Amino acid sequence: MKTKKIAVLFSSNGSNLEAIIKKLHNKRFNGTKIKISLLICNNKNAFGIVRARKYGLETTIISHEDFTCRQEFDKVLVEKIKSANVDLVVLAGFMRILTPVFCDNVRAINLHPSILPLFKGANAIKESFQSDMQIGGVSVHWVSSELDSGKIIAQRSFKRKNRDFKAWEKKIHAIEHKILPKTIIKLLCK
């Protein structure tokens, strides 16, 4: 049986990280075991660190504030990821704009809370809710050096109905917790 190793990068709450841990870590799919072998967070106060510890996983903290530029931060990320010899890097709420130093050297996917190419960036949930769009949704895409513009791997949408902002956000997170693990399985366990 082969094992595929992943690294998960996150910045805050870690609900998508926990979904990945619960659904994938040390589990087998089509004869392939998926193992989370590296967790990186850029925020020492992120609740995701507590979530990971609950499952016996420790997080490496690499604070972007310790670096004078994005490229230096990305270089250290790449070195850490390369040393872990992972098959795939998963950005699960990693709130950093990454440079080509990262994007050109790491095979990574990103989870984004909108139907791309619409509503790129950090305020996608709010912007999609405030738009006239009659659907919302989630995208998983390959990471590229252009923000939220890599090739789309998977998308799921839902109808607006009469959702208020809180219900809109809750629906997006529910879809995220399903689509990201399914996409990882699809990519690693063919």
Q: pLDDT tens, 17-60?
A: 999 999 999 999 999 999 999 999 999 999 999 999 999 999 99
Please identify which residue in the block is written with the tokens 């989630």. 138
Q: Among all residues, which ones are annotated catalytic?
A: 112
> By C-alpha distance, which of 55, 50, 91 is closest to 180?
91
Q: Which residues are annotated as a binding site?
A: 14-16, 70, 95-98, 110
3-state SS track over the chain: CEEEEEEEEECCCCHHHHHHHHHHCCEEECCEEEEEEEEEECCCCCHHHHHHHHCCCCCEECCHHHCCCHHHHHHHHHHHHHHHCCCEEEECCCCCCCCHHHHCCCCEEEEECCCCCCCCCCCHHHHHHHCCCCEEEEEEEECCCCCCCCCEEEEEEEECCCCCHHHHHHHHHHHHHHHHHHHHHHHHCC
Backbone angles phi, psi at 56, to 5 degrees: 80, 20
Distance between CA 61 and CA 143 in Å, rounded? Answer: 21
The strand pairing partners of 9, in sequence order, are: 40, 91
Any residues with CB less than 8 A from the CB of 190 and at least 6 apart, and which? 30
The per-residue pLDDT for 190 is 79
Per-residue pLDDT of 130-152, as tens digits, reads 999 999 999 999 999 888 999 99
- The tokens of 120 are what? 């790129």
Q: Is the peptide bond before 117 cis (omega within 30 degrees of 0)?
A: yes
| Distances 83 to 52, 54, 74 between C-alpha atoms, Å | 21, 25, 14
Total residue length of the chain: 190
Residue 71 identity = Q
Is residue 1's pLDDT more than 90?
no
Per-residue pLDDT of 86-144, as tens digits, reads 999 999 999 999 999 999 999 999 999 999 999 999 999 999 999 999 999 999 999 99
The per-residue pLDDT for 144 is 93
At the topology level, CATH places domain 2-115+139-157+173-189 in Rossmann fold (3.40.50)
**Domain residue ranges in the chain:** 2-115+139-157+173-189
Any residues with CB less than 8 A from the CB of 164 and at least 6 apart, and which? none
Q: Which residues are annotated as a binding site for (6R)-10-formyltetrahydrofolate?
A: 70, 95-98, 110
The per-residue pLDDT for 160 is 94
